[in-house]
Amino acid sequence: MQPTNSNPLETGVVVSPHPLATEAGRAVLARGGNAIEAAVAVAAALAVVMPHFCGLGGDAVWLVCDREGRRRCFLGIGQAAAGVTVPTHAIPTRGPSSMLTSACAVDSWGHALAFSAANWAGRESFADLMSPAIELADGGYTPSASQDFWLDFRAQEHPAWPGFAAIFDHRSDAGLLRQPELAASLRCLADDGYRSFYEGALSEAIADGLAKTGSPLNAVDLAATRTREVDPLALDYRGTLLLAPPPPTQGCSTLAIMGILSRFDLAETAPATAARMHLLVEATKQAFLNRSSIGDPDFRAETTDPAAAMLEADSLDAGARKIDPASAMPWPHPANSADTVFFAVADAAGRCASVLQSTYFDWGSGITVPGTGILWQNRGAAFSTEPGHPNCLAPGKRPFYTLNPGIAIRDGAPFLLYGTQGADGQPQTLSVLLTSLIDDSMAPQAALAQSRFLLGRTFSDSRDSLKIEGSLRTEEVDALSALRHEVAVLPALSPIFGQAGVIRLSSDGTVEGAHDPRGDGCAADVSLSPDQNR
């Protein structure tokens, strides 16, 4: 089990999937930085030490809030190349043909810091926040068990990915992995500012490298890449306000699941039982039935907002009525696969950042942009090629996005920060976490230890079955089978079930944070002196 931290009000907490990244954020809080500033340091460090899940060549989605009522979402989502054409076949999941969208993670860091300076008295320089990441890329780090797992998992595939092996050219005899080209790119960002990724010397190197790989992205596409700042979606769940990012993310799916569950008395079902899990699975099915309507709102032809429609009371009531407590609904719908990292920070003033950062599949496109050390995302593979589909590929369009970090508000103040890796599994895992945290009043560590489920296909099982974690009792697994679920049992604490994190800010002034026992993550706290609270 990963550590949990519980501390008084003058303490800030960082949770992330890697201890080196958590330490980078902790150091920012220790010197008086705020939650956003610490989160940027975490994000940059993760771009180095978790190249299998995120990096400079990917995207990021942020939720931020504070006790003064500010609640904002930063959609750091890259758009499709202006010169892209829609193929007549499915978009490949790897290689240059999957490198169709720009990368907006770095711009989201700069956008978040601008918000921090304007609203939270942020004073940290971008260069200082890049420093831990530069040191890790230059000096090296020991690859995590998660990184080794996913490298081994793709052992039959990655030898065919052009230039992929270059990532590991600088692994020492002691096992440290150095990334000197990535360090140089990070140093360029520190020296010239975050927009140099899009309009400076670094952008020129990136554009040249992208052209060499065969990607349709160019300098014009990089310069056009911008983070969108929008209002988050919101849904009341038993007196707790749940926030989620709007389309093109699937945040409305998570809220719809919770809205359907709010129609049931979960006190009648205990956690980690077939009755509770059946209800969560069936609510997921009802919410996912409408998910195909989600796409980039800038390209929406109809006037109806699909996210708003999914969260209307009549729609949630109808979904709840369709759930049969005695039988599972068949589920033939294909699933999406992806990987990402979740991290969150709450500072001493109660200012919060909940963030997901990703290059889509593990190892993204599999291609490192020549001369930069930047592994580019394969987010183009998230597009449909079906004409008229809300998520059909088009020039300048943002793809449907599984990233949906969350924040819960209680009595007007931040209460929970949460999120998880896992594409289609994200709303499913969040349903387990949120019902445990809210309905059962579990502590973060206990909620993260709960047995999970995953509906549909996974990397290791192509059947549209209900994957159940092996920690669930045998009699409960049998009971799910009796309810007509096609059950497949996977090992307990398998990485397939994602890596989640939670921070809880209690009304008694304590703050707790924990990261998933299924990964390498941890939580760190730091006590702040009164003059550092700003």
- Give the Cα separation of 334 and 207 in Å (integer): 35
Buried residues in 107-139 as b, exposed as e (16+ CB within 10 A)? bbbbbbbbbbeebbebebebebbbbbbbbbbbe
Beta bridge partners of 233: 244
CB 492 within 8 A of CB 407: no
CB 421 within 8 A of CB 499: yes
Torsion of CA 380, 166, 109, 528, to 10 degrees: 140
- Give the Cα separation of 160 and 491 in Å (integer): 30
Question: 264: which residues sit within 8 A by CB, 6+ positions away?
Answer: 279, 320
Q: Is 303 exposed, middle or buried (0-12, 13-18, 19+ CB in 10 A)?
A: exposed
**Six-digit token string for 522:** 């941890």
Q: What is the largest CA-CA distance in the chain?
A: 62
**Six-digit token string for 452:** 């999970």
Grouping H, G, I as helix, E, B as strand and the rest as coil, residue 370 is coil
Question: CA distances (Å), 423 to each of 36, 53, 70, 497, 520, in order?
Answer: 24, 12, 28, 10, 19
**Catalytic residue (choose from 11, 101, 340, 429):** 340
**Angle subtended by helix axes 274-288 and 313-321, to nearest 10:** 130
Beta bridge partners of 242: 235, 408
Q: Is 72 exposed, middle or buried (0-12, 13-18, 19+ CB in 10 A)?
A: middle
Phi, psi of 78 (to 5 degrees): -70, 150
User: Amino acid letter at 423?
Assistant: A
Question: CA distances (Å), 470 to each of 425, 442, 444, 449, 479, in order?
Answer: 17, 21, 21, 12, 14
CB 33 within 8 A of CB 349: no
Our answer to whether residue 340 is catalytic in this structure is yes
**Six-digit token string for 37:** 């500033």
Nearest to 403 by CA among 249, 200, 178, 533: 249
**Six-digit token string for 431:** 């349903």
- Give the Cα separation of 77 and 101 in Å (integer): 9
Nearest to 258 by CA among 393, 64, 433: 433
User: Amino acid letter at 202?
Assistant: L
Q: In what order do the strands lie in the sheet with 413-420?
A: 4-7, 511-515, 500-505, 413-420, 406-410, 240-244, 233-237
- Give the Cα separation of 383 and 100 in Å (integer): 10
Residues known to be catalytic: 340
